[in-house]
Chain A
C-alpha cells in the first residue's frame, strides 16, 4: 500500500494533462497596418511570426502527448506488490520523459 496510490495519482494527473485543451493561437492573417513603405515587409514578418508560434504550440502539444504516453506506459507496467516495482516505475519515467525532446 502507499506507492500504488501515488502511481494512480500520477496517472490521474497525467490524464488530466492529456485532456487539457491544447493551447492554440487564434490570430488571423496579417493585420491591416496601412499602406506605407514598410507595410508589405511587416506582413511578411507577421506571417513568419504566426507560423513560428503555431508550430511551436504544436510541438508543445506533441511534448504533452509523449509525456502522458510515457506515464501511462509506466503506470500500466507497474505491478503492485512486486519487489522493485516502485524503482522500476520511477526509472521508466526517468527514461521515458528523458527521451522527450525539449
Chain B
C-alpha cells in the first residue's frame, strides 16, 4: 500500500524539483538580448540612412542592399530570440501547472495515508473490526490509484511540452551564420532520435546520470560500455547472430530499412562504434540511373572494425531513389522487391589470404537470399581491421542492371585507385558480377 503513496511522492517530486524562476530568467535573458539586437539594428539603419542621403543613383545601390540584408538578419535574430523566450514561458507555465497538480495530489495522498494509518492503528487498539478496516483499505487504495493516474497524466503532459519545446529550441539554426551550434546539434540530434525511438534506452538513461551526460556529449564509447545499453542499441539496429557462420547479420526490417541511406546513417556510425573503409570517400559514390524508369541506384561497400574495436566485418548495401523524390539530396531508400540483390560476401585477411567468414545472404526474408543489405560482423578484438579484404559476388534481376552496376563500379575503381577495387563480370544466367576490394 505504501508503494502507491511513495510513487505519488516520487512522481510529484520529479516536477516539484523544477524551477519556474529559472525558466523565467532564461526568457528574460532572451528578451534582453533581443533588445540589444534591435539596438544594433537601429545603428545599422542609421548607417543606411546616411548612405542613402549621399547616394544619387549608380554605385552605392549594392551597399544599400547589403545593409538591408544585415538589418533583415538582425530582425530574424530578434524574432528568434522572442520565439525562444516564448518557448521558455510555455515550459514555465506547463511546469507551474504540473507542480500545482503534483502538490494537490501529494497533499490528497498524504491525507489518505493518514486516514488509512488511523484505521489500522484503531484496529490495533481494539477499535473497529477487521472487516471495516479492510473495506476502508480498499476504498483508500482505489482513491490513491486514481490520484496516481491523474498525476501520471499531468507529468506525461508536462514531458510532452518539454519534448515539443525542446525540439523547437534544438532545431533552431543560426540566423546570421546558419552553421552556428552545428557541432553540438549533430550529436544532440542523434541522442534525441535514439531516445525517442528507443523507450528502453530512454529508461536506462533516465536511471543513470552518467549515461545521460555521455549521451548529451555524444560519448558513444562510454555509452556502449554499459552492456544493457549496448544490447538495446544492437537490438534496435536489428542485428542477429548467425550461429553457423559465427557472425552477426541484420534482417530486412531493421531501422536502416526505414531510414534508408542518407547523412543520418553516417551520423549513426559512432553509435555502433564503427571505424570503416567506405566507398563514399570524397563525396563520390557508386551511383547510376536507369534511363527507362529514371530511378537512381546506389551501391555502397563498407569494411573495418565495429563495436569500438571489439568486432570486425563488412557490409554491402543497395539503395534506390525514385524520380521526383522530395527527400533531401543524398537520401536513398533501401532497395525493395526485384531491385534487391543476392550477395555472397567474404571477409578475409589481405596478407595471409585466410578467409574469416562468408555471408551468403543470411538475414534476408524467406529463402531467396535477396536483401538490400548484406552485413556480417564477428566479435573478435584480435583481428587487425586494416588487413581486411572484402570480396563478393552480386546477383541482380537482369543483365541490363548487372551491366550498369559493372560499368559504374569500374568507373569508380578507375577514379579511386587507392580503393584497390577490381571488378569482373560473371555469368549471364543468373546475371552476376564479382569484385575484390583490397583497400
Q: Do A and B come from one complex?
A: yes
CB-nearest residue of chain B to A55: B180
A51 proximity list for chain B (CB < 8 A): 180-181, 183-184
Binary interface profile of A, 44-80, with partner B (CB < 8 Å = 1, else 0)? 1111110111111101100110010001000000000
**With A and B bound together, what is the CA distance between A40 and B88 in angstroms?**
16
Distance (whole angstroms) from the CB of B195 to the closest CB of chain A = 5
* Cβ–Cβ contact B40 & A90, under 8 A: no
User: What residues on B are CB-neighbors of A54 within 8 Å?
Assistant: 180
Q: Which of A16, A28, A56: most chain B Cβ within 10 A?
A: A56
A57 to B35, CA, bound (A): 13
> Is A82 an interface position by the 8 A CB rule?
no
Report which of B23, B29, B155, B205 forms a contact with A26, defined as CB distance below 8 A. Answer: B29
Cβ-defined contact, A59 with B216, below 8 A:
no
Given A21-B36, A36-B15, A48-B62 contact (CB < 8 Å): no
B 59-95 contacts with A by CB, 8 A: 59-63, 66-67, 69-70, 73-74, 77, 80-81, 84, 88, 91, 95
Verify if B172 is at the interface (C-beta below 8 Å from A).
Answer: yes
Residue B349, interface by CB 8 Å: no
A1 at the interface (CB under 8 A from B): no
Which one of A24, A44, A102 lies within 8 Å of B192 (CB-CB)?
Answer: A44
> What per-residue 1/0 map shows which CB atoms of B223-254 lie under 8 Å from chain A?
00000000000000000000000000000000
Q: Which of B1-58 contact A (CB under 8 A)?
A: 13-19, 22-23, 25-26, 29-30, 32-33, 36-37, 39-40, 43-44, 46-47, 49-51, 53-55, 58
Within 8 A of B (CB), among A1-54: 3, 6-7, 9-10, 12-14, 16-17, 20-28, 31-49, 51-54
Q: Which of B14, B84, B177 contacts A49 (CB 8 A)?
A: B84
Interface size class of A (residues with CB under 8 A): 35 or more
Query: Which DSSP category, helix, strand, loop or mixed, fits chain B's interface?
Result: helix
User: Known interface pairs A56-B77, A67-B47. Does A40 touch B212 (Cβ–Cβ under 8 Å)?
Assistant: yes
Residue B414, interface by CB 8 Å? no
Name the CB-closest residue of B to A99.
B66
A83 within 8 A of B: no
Query: Could you tell me how many residues of chain B have their Cβ less than 8 Å away from some Cβ of chain A?
Result: 81
A-chain residues with CB within 8 Å of residue B49 when the two chains form the complex: 13
B58-A38 in contact (CB<8A):
no
Beta-carbon contact of B33 and A31 below 8 Å: no
Task: Check if A6 sits within 8 Å of B33, measured CB to CB.
Answer: no
- Give bound CA distance, A94 to B166, whole Å: 41
Give the chain B neighbours of A55 by CB distance below 8 A.
174, 177, 180-181
Minimum CB–CB distance for B80 against chain A, Å: 8
Which B positions have Cβ atoms within 8 angstroms of A?
13-19, 22-23, 25-26, 29-30, 32-33, 36-37, 39-40, 43-44, 46-47, 49-51, 53-55, 58-63, 66-67, 69-70, 73-74, 77, 80-81, 84, 88, 91, 95, 98, 155, 158-159, 162-163, 165-167, 169-170, 172-177, 180-181, 183-185, 188, 191-192, 195, 202-203, 205-206, 212, 215-216
**Would you mind naming 28 contact pairs between A and B with Cβ atoms under 8 Å apart?**
A7-B54, A17-B46, A20-B43, A23-B37, A25-B81, A26-B32, A31-B19, A33-B95, A34-B98, A35-B18, A37-B159, A38-B162, A40-B212, A42-B165, A44-B215, A49-B172, A51-B184, A53-B81, A53-B84, A56-B174, A56-B180, A67-B70, A90-B54, A90-B55, A91-B59, A96-B63, A97-B67, A98-B63
Q: A23-B37, A51-B184 are in contact. List 8 more A-B contacts (CB 8 A).
A: A13-B43, A23-B36, A33-B19, A42-B165, A45-B166, A45-B169, A60-B176, A100-B70
Enumerate chain A interface residues (CB-CB to B < 8 A).
Answer: 3, 6-7, 9-10, 12-14, 16-17, 20-28, 31-49, 51-57, 59-60, 63-64, 67, 71, 87, 90-91, 93-98, 100-102
